Structure 1
Amino acid sequence: MKIPFSLPVIDDEVIAEMMDTLTRTGWLTTGPKVRALEKEIQIFIGSSNPVLCVNSWTSGAMLMLRWFGVGPGDEVIIPAYTYSATALCAMNMGASVVMVDVKDDFTMDPEKLATAVTEKTKVIIPVDIGGYPCDYDAIRQVLARPEIRKKFRAEHVRQQQLGRILLLADAAHSLGAFYKGRAIGTVADITVYSLHSVKNITTGEGGAIALNLPSPFDNDKELVFLRALGLNGQNKSAFEKNQPGAWRYDIIDQGLKVNMPDLCASVGLAQMRRYRDRFLPERKRIFQFYLNAFSRYEWAILPPCRNDDATESSYHLFLLRLRGFDETERDRAIQQISSCEVGVNVHYIPMAMLTLFRNRGYQISDYPMTYSLFANEISLPIYNNLTEKQLQIVVDTVVDAYYSIAGTEKTNVV
């Protein structure tokens, strides 16, 4: 039985919502479906502050860095264990990226963060790898230290308003996660979700920004500006201009072009309406199946998913690690699993091992925890509509591959 690594939900409700866009509204680019999706996400995370949909996580993060005045000469601190977009959003704005190592739960190490802050630091981008939240309180405590606050140099009006380093959460994986009982999207100053095809909720390509800016910012007023900034600085969308007599518009700033089309929003809207009651619980069930199955084996290092402090994952990825395996053995295991038509992946190849970043002087030896996590990690299929029969095939195939590569009998079951 062939089991792909990832499949989006394309069912009758998604198709009906898409057909409604194509045949009833007749509007394909940014319009009422985007606004409806923004509202659904805002309601889901329980925020009194607004949400803005964009065409990708990367463009959403770039938009917020542009809004905060980040550019050449500035530094943005990110974890070394993440997808390259976390770095590229800053690099694309001309800023320098400072990478720090992570803890053994895949998330940014706050103490490594503290040593990386300089007078050039403008933004911290922690990453919720696999949907498991970072320790945001610990990160905020670092940013609140007197010696850290003294280093902050405000060089833009919004930097002056905030008066400290901006905390921008990379929540590409964590729509639906909670940190100490608070929904991700209500914890950091700004949260950017991904709605890419492989994410829990997808629009094909897309992202969403949840604003949570403190006083003196007015989040609703900032949203109005951000809508324009994300549409080439134009203060009316095409949908608004298309209304009778509403043709006149203005360009109020040098913006980007990052708006989400209604055609894409239709897919996400149909899924988002069922996320809390159906899709998210089903992902949790799949995750728990893997936990129960692999907890029997002492060689299986299980990924974090919840804490006693009401921190809980969105169950986006199941990051299984094979104790005692090096990178070569892990790769052999993946090859054997794949030959059985079970789709697995690795999240992620550390950026310091990729050509672009190596050529810029980053060295994987500077991030030992990042490398140790990567070297024996395998991501297992976790998506809606997987059956228990399919999940058992995944488990059996991974177990067989482990023992085949390890060259041992199946005796180490706890």
Structure 2
Amino acid sequence: MFGYYLMLGVRSLRRNPYLTVLMVLTLAIGVAASVSTLTILHVMSGDPIPAKSERLFVPFIDNGARNGYVPGSEPIDMQSTYQDAMNLLRIAPAERGVAMFATGMPVEPPRAGSAPFQAYGLAPTRAFFAMFDVPFRYGQPWSEEDEARGANVVILNRTVAEKMFGEANPVGQRLRMGGEPFTVVGVLGDWNPMPRYYKLIGSGPATGEEFMIPLATAVRKELQPYGSVNCSQARDPGYASLLASECTWIQLWFETRSGADRADLQSALENYASEQRKLGRLPRLAPVELYDVMAWMEKQKVVGNDTRLSAWLAFGFLALCLVNTVGLLLAKFSARAAEVGVRRALGASKRDIFRQFLIETGVVGLAGGVLGLGLAVGALALIGMQSKDMAAVARMDWQMLALTFVLSIAAALIAGLLPTWRACQVTPAIQLKSQ
């Protein structure tokens, strides 16, 4: 019977085309508004590295001044000092540790006639690529020897590599960065996670890091950090003073072998903090904190209240569209009271009528889902045109694609419950007498 009722539902779409178009359009607009905002929320709040998000940790040791500090208050900055980062990389019981900071340099392409440009990149330690599962199109990470001596080696992203070298493999080629020759050792594959969970503090291009060089190289060249630098105490001018200061500007990550090793890492951090307090540092006596990926994203408010509010408003608009759809379905089904009366007189039960009309509303929902999907894709495209950051998150995956149809059909079925129930209450005798 389902196939028969489905055929009736498809035919009913042509019975009153204007009313059908109005219902489908109303439902599609509500679904498109909800799905487009929910898609952005889904991308921003999803687990960016599910295979190991419970094994990646950001430590926070508060080194701020005691003056004006209120215990329990939110810190101004949650990065690390250079000295803490280097010390913790040596002593922390972790499978991998990464220290990094954002920076930039002028780049001179090797092609004759190509204009120099300012590039923005990242200066991490070598474990960065294994820790965050970074794919390579060509080459590989720099060697441990290159890192130890702060060699002039660079890894380019795909866009910059093609801009300077075309489609050819540029590994081994040289270019000038910051006035010095650098050797290309690798080209990143398609890797631009959104949100950029590994570097939430600070800014950078929406297309991802344009280059990466060893942290030791950036320090040797005295490259300035691009992003947040917070100094709780006055320091002398000069780069050496920055390295030895209490200024926080290094982002630090650790990867453990399993989530159960978190306690060992926490204990090591607390022991380190205790030793530093004996040396007269860390005057706030704040507890040492450790955040996994999802907790870190929550702490940094990757999904803000504005995004959540937009999602709630979109679903409120969907509810308003459903109210209108209920009215349209009531009008549609009321006009078929005579048909229902005849069917009931011929032996159809209320359950049969209810099933038939509910399947018909499901057909309306399916049509609304198809149209809503097109409208949602168009809405996301318009949102993505606002900025490169929005373009990176305004993209629909297969989960949201499936949700579009599920939401549309479910919304139609919910909207059809009252009209369908009203249709089942038709009295056959009254309808037959009026014919």
**TM-score normalised according to structure 2 size:** 0.22
Which structure has greater helix proportion? 2
**TM-score normalised according to structure 1 size:** 0.23
- Report the structure number with the largest CA radius of gyration: 2
Greater relative CO, 1 or 2 (CA 8 Å, sep 6+): 2
